[in-house]
Structure 1
Amino acid sequence: MLLNYLRLLLLPFSLIYGMAIILRKKLYDWGIMRSVKFDLPVICVGNLAVGGSGKTPTTEYLLRLLKNYKVAILSRGYGRKTKGFILADATATAERIGDEPLQYYQKFAEVTVAVCEDRVEGINQLKENHEVIILDDAFQHRAVQAGFNILLFEFRKLGTLQFLLPAGNLRDVFSARKRADVLLVTKSPVPLLHVAQQASINELQPNKNQPVLHSYLKYGQLQHLQQNDTRSLDSVKGYTFFLITGIANPAPLIEELGKYTKDIKHEEFPDHHAFTTDDIKRFKKAFEAENRKEKIIITTEKDSQRLRATRFEDLLVNLPIYYLPIEVELFEEDKITFDELILNYVKSYRRNR
């Protein structure tokens, strides 16, 4: 209730923010502010809200789809303590390039991973040696005119009343969706009923040639943070789960873990939280105070990048701490449409024919 009152107090500031967003949009539309177009495929993955819509697994889906091309992924590197253009290499850490870029670098050896807050500069550094560039979280970065925009919407938030920042979590006006080439609804339920699918389309009101497609999350095997060890969720059914997260929206993960236990002790931090030694010590103490033998620590793959920091190695040694990987998958007909749209777009450039 208190939060709702605070949001009401912030609504005037959201109105000012919205007016600024619309003015900026018009300046780009009128050509007063310059938007650069590049002579190679540039695919942008973005959303209208702040975090939590599944950009990272969607980007990884694209990397797998485009495995036959020389791909570079360019991110701002949110949460890093550095500035400027940096190429990920063997010395990369979450503090140097950000947790999401580090995850891409560690999972996709054949992909170039770079960070730069100035996307135009970043693309200029990468364009000569690559066939495709993927922009991670750059829909609002109008300085680059991406050739193909994928805009994500979380299924469970469609149809709910959402406000612009700072009263809500929207960083762009809803009408901005009209710029996208594909509207991708993420974290859909399985199975997806036709009535729910149609409700998404009705809510988004797409343009005539703007497909609304649906994807869902697919969870993998639990993987140990420090050791070469994997476990299925079935193998820890009924355990006490100590869950530690620093992501925007842990609700879908909690829902999935709830299928395997009723005892989840969740330590929740803000998105991209820079874990401290005190955070880890407090969490470890709570875990060790639990008398049950059947207990396990679970985190997300993105959080695992920050938890692997050298300063935490001794604190976490010998603990059963695992991360749960996720992948995005599209429903059969939507997958065919989506893959075809992406591959045809990439092939349309002379250098990739």
Structure 2
Amino acid sequence: MTTSDSEAWGMDIHKWDWTPGVGVISILHYFEASGDPKVMEFLEQWVEKNKEKAAEAKVVNSMAPYALFPELYRRTNNLFYLDEAVKIGDWMLREAPRTREGALEHTVTEKASFPEQVWADTIFMAVLFLARLAAVTGRKDYAEEALLQTELHFKLLQDETTGVLFHGWNCKAGDHMSAAKWTRANAWVVIGFPLIVKELKGLVQVPTHLVDQYRALVDGLLTYRAANGLWHTVMDRPEFYQETSGSAGIAAGIMCSVRLGLLDPSYLDHTASTCSAVIGQVDESGLVQSVSGGTPIKNTIEDYNTIPVIPTLYGQGLTLILLSEMIQTAALTR
């Protein structure tokens, strides 16, 4: 993949995959913070333009765009959104590939296979959709599956010593492969978890131990943050470059969790420097800088430092989610 190809891949919103999926999820998050009707109009138009591409991308990692559908159905009462979401939800329950532990296998649209692998990314890319579908339909089977997947990912990925997450788990080998403490992997869970818990209320009881594991994750992450508020792309390797998207996702997740009552308000004190540092990475044209390109689990930790830095929709998106959380936090603290 050349640099130009990489940039085209990273910023092409008119596909049906995880990259534009994160982009449109973030736009929905901004709508919830701003209430701007033009934002909702854009999302409806995006689905209309790109919905035919969905059939070509029926893998776990491309479920992300469907996370729009429950809210679009709530807002419009258009049964298309509900019917399509239920079809995909049922596919995830009955047909989506799973590992021997029952976790969703991280399948992708690219010409690559990761058999028996569990990635932290799946929480945001697929489990969030299931939780939102559970909330809009009231179906307990969706809710139970979303909770099960969240518990399994914490069980398989969390480092008991530090509380942070490894990038992935190989169920066949029984190891974390390169055992990288990759920052963006942690970000997907830090922001994904509170959004999932929000949707599951009233359908299933989220166990106390899972909330405790989440708090341990956040506490562990804060010990690795650099003095300027950002995290390095592999958090325990301070000689590696600092990475904006993961840093934005972590700060956004902390703010969201405070807003939803999962973390004490004192945690907001830890987000100020990160917010400033992330905003400082936005250039005059609005592009978020220092965002690492697509990152499968690498063979060695050193390989993570060779991932090219390119503009991406998930870099834009995680930063937009952070800005949206800043809007909502400011409104609550006035």
TM-score calculated relative to the size of structure 1? 0.24
Bigger helix fraction: 2
Larger Rg: 1
**Structure number having the greater strand percentage:** 1
TM-score by length of 2: 0.25
